[in-house]
Copies of this chain bind each other. A is one copy, B any other.
């Protein structure tokens, strides 16, 4: 049974939603309400877009970039660009102009499809991105726009008049399908190129009952941006199963999201923990205002949700928070954690179930992972040993795009840059990003563990722990904390709280109350910037001040 005629191409999957659920809705939020199109219409428009791109000179392997919020046109771009054999390059709209310039030139992008409200962010690049021949500006809403980027055209004019059927080509399954740059914390952004095969296998796996169990019966609200690791792969899966989709477009404030979750009868959604923190704050401030009775599960990734958040959603709303761990380099899903992962979990207490969900989870079928010491010896899965996390498998990156970076790979494994434990039940527990660990007196202190413990205090909105240099101990931890309005919590109270769980040498040397913690373009706390700010302010640890 050699599959001579059956390569793993996304064209095999993406037309299926319209096949099984032609009249199902894809809803995009707009300034005036909601824009609705069916799966059937979306498929037709995607096929038209492929014709239009071909007509504009796009050939197999050419990079077509998107610079968009999550909405129906972005979905059409996913569908058309990949199936026609071009490369879908999702640009992160939150990057700096210099990063965007680097990425667009490094990828040699031919065409950019952009939202009209985002054009000002591209204005600084005029004249600096010579490979770009054309800009297509989406027309989901009737908005005036102007741009000095080359050869601009409105999306509907661009695709209008082309046939609603495109014969998807038979490609090699290892052909490139997508390109996503990681927001590098050091050096230039690095490109991760997905293939049809890698995305096909990732898509099948996230549709499994025991992973994200996405179904045609779901109403999915995709909050994670489609420019973050391909929206965690969810858009591919939804186009395959034919679920109703709700796409927030640029209306990303917690109250707008909550209105959509309630009015569209959403069953499942994906977002980073800060989103769910924001939604929770509104729900607490306005109890009973939103009917979330259809909501079943929230997939949470990007960084670990605090246990208190997982508990709140379960106890208050009966909503299962699912934790996933992964990276742009892993397509992205690597592990997943759910309330019930095996039958014996039925015997666990609610507290034990929540403790399991607060771990990064268990490996998806088909992948391999392990923790290693500095000589690449495997460490025991005892929940104690901490080592560098390595992962490999059919949808894990083995090299960066036109940028070899050999230190990021080891004998076919991806060196994740995370340090982690694996417990006897084979749950992965991320200790920290290796660069964010605090190295004190030859021992490691996990900044993530301290943050999660501090944020469990009801008065704390956010906490960020970073290392500061110390001549004797090498590094010592300092905590930056955002308190809720009106709170009287003191630094001493926070240290007192930490001392219930952590050894004395692991406690922060100081707690600094702040109004804001800088975030990266993917919504994570930007510790590189936090450390830079402290350095600019000539921050010195209290013990050094006293003795200094």
| Chain A contact residues, CB within 8 Å of chain B | 1-6, 8, 12-13, 16, 19-21, 23-24, 174, 192-195, 197-198, 201, 204-205, 207-210, 213-217, 219, 240-244, 331, 340-344, 346, 362-363, 365-366, 368, 392-398, 412, 426
A205 CA to B12 CA, complexed, in Å:
13
Residue of B nearest to A240 (CB): B365
Q: In the complex, are the beta carbons of A209 and B201 less than 8 A apart?
A: no
Point out the residue from B4, B204, B243, B395 that lies within 8 Å of A1, measured CB to CB.
Answer: B395
Q: Please, which residues of chain B bring their CB within 8 A of the CB of A343?
A: 21, 24, 216-217, 219, 243-244
A391 CA to B244 CA, complexed, in Å:
28
Q: Please, which residues of chain B bring their CB within 8 A of the CB of A20?
A: 341-342, 362, 426
Q: In the complex, are the beta carbons of A198 and B1 less than 8 A apart?
A: yes
Q: Please, which residues of chain B bring their CB within 8 A of the CB of A216?
A: 210, 341-343
Point out the residue from B13, B243, B366, B392 that lies within 8 Å of A13, measured CB to CB.
Answer: B366
Q: In the complex, are the beta carbons of A210 and B207 less than 8 A apart?
A: yes
Q: In the complex, are the beta carbons of A344 and B24 less than 8 A apart?
A: yes
Q: Which of A4, A331, A397 has the most CB of B within 10 A?
A: A4
Q: How far is the CB of A195 from chain B (nearest CB, A)?
A: 5
Q: In the complex, are the beta carbons of A6 and B344 less than 8 A apart?
A: no
Q: In the complex, are the beta carbons of A397 and B1 less than 8 A apart?
A: yes
Q: In the complex, are the beta carbons of A398 and B4 less than 8 A apart?
A: yes
Point out the residue from B13, B208, B340, B396 that lies within 8 Å of A204, measured CB to CB.
Answer: B208
Q: How far is the CB of A88 from chain B (nearest CB, A)?
A: 14
Q: In the complex, are the beta carbons of B16 and A242 less than 8 A apart?
A: no
Q: Please, which residues of chain B bring their CB within 8 A of the CB of A1?
A: 192-195, 198, 331, 395-398
A210 CA to B237 CA, complexed, in Å:
11
Q: In the complex, are the beta carbons of B209 and A398 less than 8 A apart?
A: no
Q: In the complex, are the beta carbons of A6 and B426 less than 8 A apart?
A: no
12 cross-chain CB contacts under 8 A: A1-B192, A1-B395, A1-B397, A2-B174, A4-B398, A6-B393, A21-B343, A21-B344, A207-B365, A209-B213, A210-B216, A243-B343
Provided the pairs A20-B342, A343-B216, A426-B20 are in contact, do residues A5 and B398 lie with their beta carbons within 8 angstroms? Answer: yes
Residue of B nearest to A175 (CB): B2
Closest 5 CB pairs of A and B: A5-B412, A21-B342, A209-B213, A6-B394, A209-B215
Q: In the complex, are the beta carbons of B394 and A8 less than 8 A apart?
A: yes
A432 CA to B192 CA, complexed, in Å:
50
Q: Which of A16, A195, A208 has the most CB of B within 10 A?
A: A208
Q: How far is the CB of A362 from chain B (nearest CB, A)?
A: 6
Q: How far is the CB of A422 from chain B (nearest CB, A)?
A: 11
Provided the pairs A2-B398, A4-B398, A397-B1 are in contact, do residues A342 and B242 lie with their beta carbons within 8 angstroms? Answer: yes
Known: A16-B365, A21-B343. 8 other contacts (CB 8 A): A1-B198, A1-B331, A1-B395, A2-B195, A12-B366, A13-B366, A20-B342, A209-B215
A368 CA to B482 CA, complexed, in Å:
55
Q: How far is the CB of A34 from chain B (nearest CB, A)?
A: 17
A207 CA to B214 CA, complexed, in Å:
12
Q: Which of A343, A363, A395 has the most CB of B within 10 A?
A: A343
Q: How far is the CB of A454 from chain B (nearest CB, A)?
A: 32
A244 CA to B342 CA, complexed, in Å:
9
Q: In the complex, are the beta carbons of B197 and A3 less than 8 A apart?
A: yes
Residue of B nearest to A196 (CB): B1
Q: How far is the CB of A532 from chain B (nearest CB, A)?
A: 33
Q: How far is the CB of A63 from chain B (nearest CB, A)?
A: 15
